[in-house]
Structure 1
Amino acid sequence: MSDQDFSMALTVTLIPYILVELPSSLLMRRIGAGVQIPSIVIIWGLVTLLQGLVHSYHVLLTTRFFLGLLEGGLYPALVLYLSMFYSRTELQLRIAFFFSTVCLAGVTSGLLTYAIIKLDGYWGHSGWSWVFLIEGSITSVFGMIGLLLLPSDIKTVKFLTEEEQSIVVSRLQSNDISNLASPTSFTKEFPAKSTSQQFWEALKSPHVVILTAAHFFSAFNISSLAYFSPTIINSFGYSPRATQLYSVPPLALAFVGLLSVSYLSDRYQARGLATICCATLSLLGFVIFYASDNYKVRYGSLFLSTPGTYGVVPSLAAWATNNSAPHSRKATTIALNAISAGLGGLLSIWIFVLGKKPRYYLPTGLSIAFGVLLIVCCVLNILWLNHAQQHKSKKRNEILSRFTIHHSEGGTIQDEGYQNRQELLSAQAWDHLGDQHPDFEYAC
């Protein structure tokens, strides 16, 4: 398969991957995470398994299309799912636990693949076919287990009593009071905003736009590492097994690094600083790769670019999720970020086809430029969030005026009807304003 054929196969995967992310995120509450996420994993595993039976390029493209169609809905659904169970101050570390499996997969998959390929010839299947057959089967089995065990929300967690469920819900509401606006809070007189209205609210939010751009730059650089790392390590001239071993240390450091940064970011609520630190580390690694001809120095650059680039992902995801409310707006934000990341990956695929081995001047230069732009996005977002928070505080009464019952409308504070109407209006305020509510505190 030529480089162009390989890039086309990846492109066919990414296009449906991008298109399905928004619907998947918005439909999760209606379908139920306990059904949607495991179902995606089961079918995804089956499609992966079928790739092991492919014997023509056109059939490969077909399976890659369906793989992207399934895989695309998984990441935004998982981030949204985690935000339903963990508070804003706990979210980044939980996203990091999930994303760190990418590092673990990078550490183990090469060695696992090397072992599976030895099955070449068994039952008439080649070694590469066995890789898809075995890994696809394992994926589907885990999906089936998830279908039995994964709760859709806190109220469907079987090992918690009703009292314990209430405690968890109260704890989440105390940390993020926008959760007080539950679907049962609305009536025909005090309706909630529709999903389409929340979509446009997210699209108009400057901090959503800024971090959506940041996800594009971040994803391009992660995809770049997929090309840089083999180029550097293959230049050593070692055996395939030794080459796999040399790929382990940078990924192992990335695993430890992204968990450590995420823990500190949660503890000190420093989303912007955590992202900037990781992005700066990544940028330094790409600059060293670009500037040096020495393969040892270039290998050393991976110990900066790999942990830095991987560390950005949970930081950006938690930052965007923390600053979006209510649920539909948050789901839209997560999906928009994922779509942007998919586009960044798509660009990197074809940029590297144009780049010349082993230096890849054009792609490396773009990685450096995007690293700088990523840091700029982070700084702009911090400045905007601080400005928006101050504006909300100053204009509090004006912002909440239309969600307050005035004395001219009749009734007294002691009246039960008055109190009920005001409670409904307060819930409506949280739904309509979301993260623009004066009492919603942005995470910077």
Structure 2
Amino acid sequence: MSYIPQLSKLPDVESHHIHDPTASSSSPYATPKLEEDKIFPQPRSVQSDSGEKRTHPLEGIRQPSGSSATLSDVHIFQDEAIAAHWKGVYERSSYEGRHRFDPSFEWTPEEDRQLLKKVDLRVTCWSWAMFLALDLVRKNISRALADNFLADLGMSLNDYNNGLLVFLLCFLFAELPSGLVSKKVGADRWVPTQIVSWSIIGAAQAAITGKAGFLVTRALLGLTMGGFLPDQLLYLSYFYTSKELSTRVGWFYTVIGISQVLGSLLAAGFLELRGLNGLAGWRYLFAFEGLIAGVIGLMAFFLMPNSPTATKGRFFSKRGWFSEREEKIIVNKILRDDPSKGDMNNRQGVSPRELWRALCEKDLWPIYLMGLVVFIPWQPPTLIISLLLKQMGYNTLRSNLLAIPGQVLFSINSVLLTWLSVRTNERGLVSSIANFWTLPFLVALYCLPEKVSMHLAWVRYALITCITAVPYCHPILIGWFTPRIPTRGSLYNMMVQVSTILATRVYMTNDRPFYNKGNLALIIISAVAILQAWLTKAYYVWRNRQKQAVWSAMSHEQQTRYTTTTTDRGTQRLDVRFVH
């Protein structure tokens, strides 16, 4: 979303990156925002000091996201009244960066570039490593399938799918409570606790002996992992502006592909240990990857500062990660990009009333529903690719190694898709590319003859590899709304988890070995997902036109009065526009 701000003073410039200064800051839902573009009213004549009528240069412009240099030179806090208003907000909320807030502070583009590199290394790279700790443990169960995991535990594919369902239901159940706890105690405390917890449970999977142990450990993993992703996105938003965050989220989600590559390589080695000390290879795999996650979790207690201004005394950095000037650059550019980022501190919980408001923001539900549908078509082959390859006649080692190319392409394609979205400032149409990619390969897979041969096995492998190489649009959808509001991120991620639950019910035992019934269902869902992405864009175009018609009919005085006195909240405000 974006705001049409009403300022008492407007600098004479051609573009400006600002937010509504008069929006209430009493809750995190006061300044909703789907992305960083600002849309201003249609041009109108204003009186200059000399008496000449002219069109104000800030009006009628779709504002591009300003660079940090723009936020240094031209920003909302140049109006002293607005600066005083927000300074009071930050003091009342006990915002952790309030002592670095300085409306007159300036910095250079080169300073910003160098600082971004430091933040990327210290914050994004470490967040990436923590996500790796999650995905290695979360996905290693699929790699164990190639080592007779089901036979060792006396289970069927349906039992395995039920285990995935239990995990996802528990993950879903924990999503919102985890987000609320994280917001109350701080992500820097809660996230390391989560990682250590799931590392212990992940390693304990090495000791399971039957279906009951399998289901219990999957349930506990779901409960400890739930909420991690929205917590991390909220944490990253403390260090980056909206535009900077969109790009970092794209890189953050390369973990999904790279963890599969790393996990497949580890599996190729550890699964060869079958028979050592009379144990299956998958038991060694679970124990080792649980150990990796545990080490990362313990380090996270020392490498996750709660804000850019709280890095002193941390591991390897007694003097802090950033100088005072660097802290001021981070804090001031973030607040100038979105002043409402300081209306809560990072130890402030979310009330039930605020949660209810988030649920009632009907204009966000098209994005939530996209999260429910668009990821289903490519997931079933990805979830059981090792088993599919084993069924095609490949041995354990080759089954895990053959899963690597698709995941490498997945990471590359996902970064390229995010780059395309940022480059074109387009979300709905670009996100539909994911299913435009998947659909033809699903059709080809469905049309293959239902017979076993080495030639057809390689063709199936090639098609499955292409399906798993899908350009991942998840970062684009996340960037469509602000992760600063934890309930929004949790609600969206809950929809994504429901999507994964549905995906586990597509490939069933009675559809083996080619799963053509499941593939037909995926073809239909993929086509629906393409249509859904386009309709979501059309919906936001229509809503913008609807709001603009009402807004344009108001006089300037009426617009100002509305902005300062309205009781409308969130997406219902007339001065909110949706990006699409």
Category of TM-score, reference length = shorter chain: 0.7 to 0.9
Among 158, 178, 197, the alignment partner of 1:43 is: 197
Deviations 1:84-126 (A, max 9, x none): 3322223333222222111112222122112123444556654
* Matched residue type, 2:306: S
Question: Post-superposition shift, 1:440?
Answer: 4.7
Provide the C-alpha distance between the structure 2 equivalents of 1:236 and 1:121, rounded to a whole number of angstroms: 24
Q: Which residue of 1 aligns with 2:294?
A: 140
Among 333, 348, 372, the alignment partner of 2:488 is: 333
Deviations 1:225-284 (A, max 9, x none): 225644664465343333333222222111111011112222332222320112211222
Q: Kindly tell me: are residues 254 and 34 of structure 1, through their superposed partners in 2, closer, same or farther at Cα, counting changes over 3 Å?
A: same
Deviations 1:8-44 (A, max 9, x none): 2222212211101011223322111111111111111
- Contact 1:283 / 1:371 at 8 angstroms: preserved in 2? yes
Question: Post-superposition shift, 1:45?
Answer: 0.4
Q: Kindly tell me: are residues 439 and 152 of structure 1, through their superposed partners in 2, closer, same or farther at Cα, counting changes over 3 Å?
A: farther
Q: Which residue of 2 aligns with 1:179?
A: 341
1:65 aligns with 2:65: no
Among 234, 239, 249, the alignment partner of 1:95 is: 249
Q: Kindly tell me: are residues 392 and 156 of structure 1, through their superposed partners in 2, closer, same or farther at Cα, counting changes over 3 Å?
A: farther
* Matched residue type, 2:511: K
Question: Post-superposition shift, 1:382?
Answer: 1.2
Gaps of 5+ in 1: 185-191, 406-424
Deviations 1:339-392 (A, max 9, x none): 122222222223322551233122212212221222222112212222333444
Among 302, 315, 320, the alignment partner of 2:476 is: 315
Q: Kindly tell me: are residues 198 and 291 of structure 1, through their superposed partners in 2, closer, same or farther at Cα, counting changes over 3 Å?
A: farther
Structure-2-length-normalised TM-score: 0.64
**3-state SS in 2 of match to 1:85:** coil
Which moves more between the two structures, 96-105 or 142-151?
A: 96-105
Provide the C-alpha distance between the structure 2 equivalents of 1:104 and 1:10, rounded to a whole number of angstroms: 21
1:443 aligns with 2:569: no
- Contact 2:274 / 2:281 at 8 angstroms: preserved in 1? yes
**3-state SS in 2 of match to 1:287:** helix
Q: Kindly tell me: are residues 226 and 307 of structure 1, through their superposed partners in 2, closer, same or farther at Cα, counting changes over 3 Å?
A: closer
- Contact 1:232 / 1:295 at 8 angstroms: preserved in 2? no
Q: Which residue of 2 aligns with 1:363?
A: 518
Provide the C-alpha distance between the structure 2 equivalents of 1:193 and 1:235, rounded to a whole number of angstroms: 50
**3-state SS in 2 of match to 1:111:** helix
Q: Kindly tell me: are residues 436 and 152 of structure 1, through their superposed partners in 2, closer, same or farther at Cα, counting changes over 3 Å?
A: farther
Among 507, 518, 533, the alignment partner of 1:378 is: 533
Q: Kindly tell me: are residues 219 and 164 of structure 1, through their superposed partners in 2, closer, same or farther at Cα, counting changes over 3 Å?
A: same
**3-state SS in 2 of match to 1:404:** helix
Among 549, 554, 564, the alignment partner of 1:404 is: 564
Higher Cα Rg: structure 1 or 2? Answer: 2
Q: Which residue of 1 aligns with 2:240?
A: 86
Provide the C-alpha distance between the structure 1 equivalents of 2:577 and 2:237, rounded to a whole number of angstroms: 16
Provide the C-alpha distance between the structure 1 equivalents of 2:255 and 2:436, rounded to a whole number of angstroms: 23
Provide the C-alpha distance between the structure 1 equivalents of 2:328 and 2:423, rounded to a whole number of angstroms: 25
Q: Which residue of 2 aligns with 1:187?
A: none
Question: Post-superposition shift, 1:136?
Answer: 0.4
Provide the C-alpha distance between the structure 2 equivalents of 1:238 and 1:305, rounded to a whole number of angstroms: 19
Question: Post-superposition shift, 1:300?
Answer: 3.3
Among 442, 456, 466, the alignment partner of 1:286 is: 442
Q: Kindly tell me: are residues 55 and 106 of structure 1, through their superposed partners in 2, closer, same or farther at Cα, counting changes over 3 Å?
A: same
1:387 aligns with 2:547: no
- Contact 1:42 / 1:140 at 8 angstroms: preserved in 2? yes
* Matched residue type, 1:153: S
Q: Kindly tell me: are residues 379 and 174 of structure 1, through their superposed partners in 2, closer, same or farther at Cα, counting changes over 3 Å?
A: farther
Q: Which residue of 2 aligns with 1:258?
A: 414
1:166 aligns with 2:328: yes
- Cα RMSD, aligned residues only: 2.9
Provide the C-alpha distance between the structure 1 equivalents of 2:208 and 2:390, rounded to a whole number of angstroms: 28
Question: Post-superposition shift, 1:194?
Answer: 6.5
Q: Kindly tell me: are residues 250 and 378 of structure 1, through their superposed partners in 2, closer, same or farther at Cα, counting changes over 3 Å?
A: same
More helix by share: 1
**3-state SS in 1 of match to 2:507:** helix
Q: Kindly tell me: are residues 210 and 399 of structure 1, through their superposed partners in 2, closer, same or farther at Cα, counting changes over 3 Å?
A: farther
Provide the C-alpha distance between the structure 1 equivalents of 2:514 and 2:272, rounded to a whole number of angstroms: 33
1:196 aligns with 2:352: yes
Q: Which residue of 1 aligns with 2:285?
A: 131
Provide the C-alpha distance between the structure 2 equivalents of 1:90 and 1:303, rounded to a whole number of angstroms: 31
**3-state SS in 1 of match to 2:504:** helix
Provide the C-alpha distance between the structure 2 equivalents of 1:115 and 1:206, rounded to a whole number of angstroms: 50
Question: Post-superposition shift, 1:64?
Answer: 1.7
Q: Kindly tell me: are residues 295 and 85 of structure 1, through their superposed partners in 2, closer, same or farther at Cα, counting changes over 3 Å?
A: same
Matches within 5 A, 1:194-233: 195-226=351-382, 229-230=385-386, 233=389
* Matched residue type, 2:564: T
In the alignment of these two chains, the number of paired residues is 405
**3-state SS in 1 of match to 2:207:** coil
Deviations 1:187-210 (A, max 9, x none): xxxxx9963333333323344212
Q: How many percent identity over aligned positions?
A: 23
Structure-1-length-normalised TM-score: 0.81
Which moves more between the two structures, 73-82 or 33-42?
A: 73-82
Question: Post-superposition shift, 1:336?
Answer: 1.5
Deviations 1:38-63 (A, max 9, x none): 11111110111111122343233222
Which moves more between the two structures, 79-88 or 62-71?
A: 79-88
* Matched residue type, 1:443: V
Provide the C-alpha distance between the structure 2 equivalents of 1:378 and 1:39, rounded to a whole number of angstroms: 37
Question: Post-superposition shift, 1:161?
Answer: 3.1
Deviations 1:407-428 (A, max 9, x none): xxxxxxxxxxxxxxxxxx9xxx
1:11 aligns with 2:165: yes
